[in-house]
Amino acid sequence: MLTLVSFCSGLVVAFALFRLLFAGWDDFGSGLDAAFRGLARFSFRAWVWMLCSVGCGFAAYHLLPKLFPRVFP
């Protein structure tokens, strides 16, 4: 259950940040393309989106058992 909740929290953050950082699917695709091509065309928004989404899921996986020990033993 902890894994599912952590994964879902990462997805929720990913969807929320997508709406804030990108204008649409075309902007998202070009941002990811620029992020993985190298530093010449670095896309800060794409890296922020990826790191915050994964970081939120990771933090939820490690912090939820400490905050709610009865729910996540």
Q: Which pTM value belongs to this model? A: 0.79
Residues of the chain with pLDDT under 70: 38-42
pLDDT at 40: 52
Nearest to 60 by CA among 71, 44, 46: 71
Which element (helix H / strand E) includes 25?
A: helix 25-37
Instruction: Say which DSSP state 71 is in.
Output: T
Q: Supply the pLDDT for residue 38.
A: 66
